[in-house]
Structure 1
Amino acid sequence: MTSRTPRPRERGIPEATVARLPVYLRALQALQERGTPTVSSEALAEAAGVNSAKLRKDLSHLGSYGTRGVGYEVEHLVHQISRELGLTQDWAVAIVGIGNLGRALANYGGFGTRGFRIEALLDADPAMVGQRVASLEVGHIDSLEEVVGSRGVSIGVITTPAEAAQAVATRFVEAGVGSILNFAPVVLNVPDGVDVRKVDLSIELQILAFHAQRRAAGDGQVAAAPGLELT
């Protein structure tokens, strides 16, 4: 019988906690690079942008409670979170859609140090096929199924135009890929058991615009108040 590490939600870790674990890990790795051996919950929470009570509760799901008066051992906590997120393994990734965003992702050097290996780049444009990007030769989308099987791809990244994304997702799923990162501005329909994370940059910008507008409105109200008093 083959054993495997339980996934976070199988161990009862809330999805909201799972979403914050990479943020904690990034803060801890920065501390590790500076040679910091221990960190208090308050300092780590501040670095991660959450309150300390929430951080302590999140980490308690991993069985990590820290030591009173000392805090958390940075190296140990990095290992714990990395293991929980599956980053102690090597995950093969295929990117479909090698436009500007696809190229940027392929050239990003941070994936390799975090347990992700860009194994294949695929595109439907004949002019793109055969080009080399980040030391990889771009293959044709027609080879997706063969690439997934032969190179052990576990995670598919979609950076295609919206109209092509669903077809690519369906092919990933049928080829056995259970995790998809979608940058296309469209909601994908996938079977139960397939995990999709959606990154929509336009939505994020709109949310920022909302907050910027609120701040500007607040500043305007403050500035207008003295004028009203003088009238």
Structure 2
Amino acid sequence: MDLTRKVAIVTGASKGIGRATVEALLERGAAVAGWARTAPEGLTHDRFQFFECDVQDEHSITEAFTNTQRELGPEIHVLVNNAGLGIMGDIDGFKVDDWKTMFDTNVLGTFLCTRAVLPQMKKQQLGHIINVASLAGTAGTAGMAGYCATKFAVRGFSDALFKEVRPAGIRVTCVMPGSVETNFNGNEPGAEPDPYKMTPESVAEAIVHAIEAPDTTMISEIQLRPAQVK
């Protein structure tokens, strides 16, 4: 898809992979709606609009979607379901509220945002949905059972969804990064990033690569790993 003058929604847009994806899409000429609970600090662009949104809340998503269409137009070409969180801990001491928070954000939020955009994408017979999962959705890890369960769910949802919406001209890609460096090491400005982790920008470039694939091609899954290991 040529992203020039296309409209993209990115959830979890305030920092990390979400913000990097917003910036990468803007560089390609897209108009971008950033959905998050807080606005990305210092990000201003004439093709960027921020809409406060809690992806755990259906009403909040409906309001953000209505506002996006009002400000950027009715057509929605790309949805990047990036909003997510991880709470680690052993199962025998895991809090039920933390379990629900992860599932409501990582899984329910992905479903609700996807459901919001699908009618318009089907009307257009065009669209691309990117679901950001994790390599934790491919193999379990001790102390991360809850997080792994949510990412396995996102991967399964993505696999079923692409088969469901493919006939309508909608592409679905599940992006599964490994370790990503979302902050510099240490507190001093200019500290070097961890060489054993990927940057948010590198994940954003993979997302854009999938979107810009030729119209005859759908990249259904992308697994990303740091190039170096300890």
Question: What TM-score range do you get, normalising by the shorter chain?
Answer: 0.3 to 0.5
Higher relative contact order (CA 8 A, sep 6+): 2
TM-score normalised to structure 2 length: 0.42
TM-score normalised to structure 1 length: 0.42
For the pair shown, which has the larger CA radius of gyration, 1 or 2?
Answer: 1
Q: Which has the higher helix share?
A: 1
